[in-house]
Structure 1
Amino acid sequence: MEYVIEEAVPNDPGANAPRADKDKFKKHMDNMLDVRCLMLATMTPELQKQHGDMVAYEMIQNPKEIYEGKACKERYETSKALFQCKMNERSPVGAHVIKMMGYIQTLEKMGFALNDELAIDVVLQSLQDRFNQFVLNFNMNEINKTLPQLLGMLRTAEGHIKNGGSKSILMVREAKGKGKKVEKSKGIGKTKSEGKEALKPKGGVSKDGKCFHCGKPGHWKRNCPVYLEDVKKAKAVGA
């Protein structure tokens, strides 16, 4: 009867375990060593010095503890800059919105993404008072747009504001109303009696004026007795 004597590996936690468990443990250690070498190869020389004596698990936990506080501070600073961002009077609206979109994308990369509705509200709240009419129309019409689409709309609105678009429309409306009033005052609505009165000659018969029929002063031809008498005679002869 033969007995197989296996040598115990010093400092091996699985020295008294079966060979199958020993093989698993050895494979685990080899994989951990490969991961450790791979992680060190991707680090900068300074980080390699700091993590040279650590195993793979410790190399993962150490940077997490170091940079977790830094990431929290960066998130705070980015969110603060986003919510306190206000448009400058001299800066164009395009540059302002692109700047805010950069803050929003940075928060998204950190795992704190804003939905489209909240992001658009933050951008609209940061605009100047000259965009109040645009914001009012945007909210009343419940327009669903993305941030790039909102950027295009704001650029178009800024062009109309610079050209005085709203003011010119108001002036056109006022001019139309004034034109209607002028036309109405020219003669629309006048009565027939007012038209006849306008045709009547002003003043009476001049003392120096003479009748064109009899040559005597003091009356018109139509009121001349001689003329009227001649007209009666002509009618009698014709009859």
Structure 2
Amino acid sequence: MSARNPLSIILDQNKLTGPNYHDWFRNLKIVLNSERIAYVLEKRPPKEAAPDISRTELAKLEKHWDHVLQAKSYMLASMSNELQRRFEEAVNAADIHLHLKELYAVQTRSERHATVKELMTTRLREGTSVHEHGFPFSPASP
């Protein structure tokens, strides 16, 4: 049994609740990169080995499944109880990642769009100085 990754404390302190998906995912990638297993978030191992697989290839496949289980465990342990229940039966860390991205990344994108739209449509009130709106530079002295 391997020792606990000291970086995993960031996952303990920043559990996924939904709206914090991007922050949580950034922290998850930090932990998985330190373990050198972040590849399992994108790459799914085959469901079963070919009948003529070599011992070397079988060992690689088993190691990949071990990494999938480890990543899935980190993911589930760092989620709210509600999200844990929702994903506990998932087999693959990549499937959990894809589903979470569909659920929460899109929502955040729409929120970001609304914020940018608001900033872009904000107008300076007529008769007011730019300096009153936080313009960072003072006018040049003659």
Q: What TM-score does the superposition give when structure 2 sets the normalisation length? A: 0.53
Q: Equivalent residue for 1:129?
A: 127
Partner residue of 1:52? 88
Distance 1:35 1:79, change over 3 A: same
- Superimposed CA distance per residue, residues 141-195 of structure 1 (whole angstroms, 9 cap, x where no aligned partner): xxxxxx97x33638xxxxxxxxxxxxxxxxxxxxxxxxxxxxxxxxxxxxxxxxx
The offset of 1:63, in angstroms, is 1.0
Identity percentage of aligned residues: 24
**1:20 counterpart = 2:5:** no
Name the CA distance, whole Å, in 1 between partners of 2:50 and 2:68. 17
Indicate the structure (1 or 2) with the bigger Cα radius of gyration.
1
Matches within 5 A, 1:40-79: 40-54=76-90, 55-79=92-116
Q: Deviations over 1:198-237 (max 9, x none)?
A: xxxxxxxxxxxxxxxxxxxxxxxxxxxxxxxxxxxxxxxx
> What's the CA shift for 1:80?
2.2
RMSD value, Cα: 2.8
> Any conservation in 2 of the 1:14–1:21 contact (CA below 8 Å)?
no
User: Structure 1 residue 37: deviation in Å?
Assistant: 0.4
Supply the distance in 2 between the matched residues of 1:23 and 1:51 (Cα, whole angstroms).
27
Measure, in 1, the Cα distance between the counterparts of 2:64 and 2:53.
15
Distance 2:136 2:68 in 1: 50
- CA shift for structure 1 position 59: 0.8
Query: Residue by residue, what CA displacement relative to the aligned partner does 1:13-67 show, whole Å, maximum 9, x if unpaired?
Result: 2443121111111111111111110111111111111111111000110011112
TM-aligned CA distance change 1:57 to 1:130, over 3 Å: closer
1:82–1:15 Cα change, 3 Å: same
CA contact (8 A) 1:14 1:22 kept: no
* Alignment match, 1:107: none
Q: Distance in 2 between matches of 1:24 and 1:128?
A: 68
5+ residue gaps, structure 2, are 1-46
When the two structures are aligned, how many residues end up with a matched partner? 91
State TM-score, norm by structure 1: 0.33
Extract unaligned runs of 5+ from structure 1: 1-10, 87-125, 135-146, 155-239
SS at match of 2:138: helix
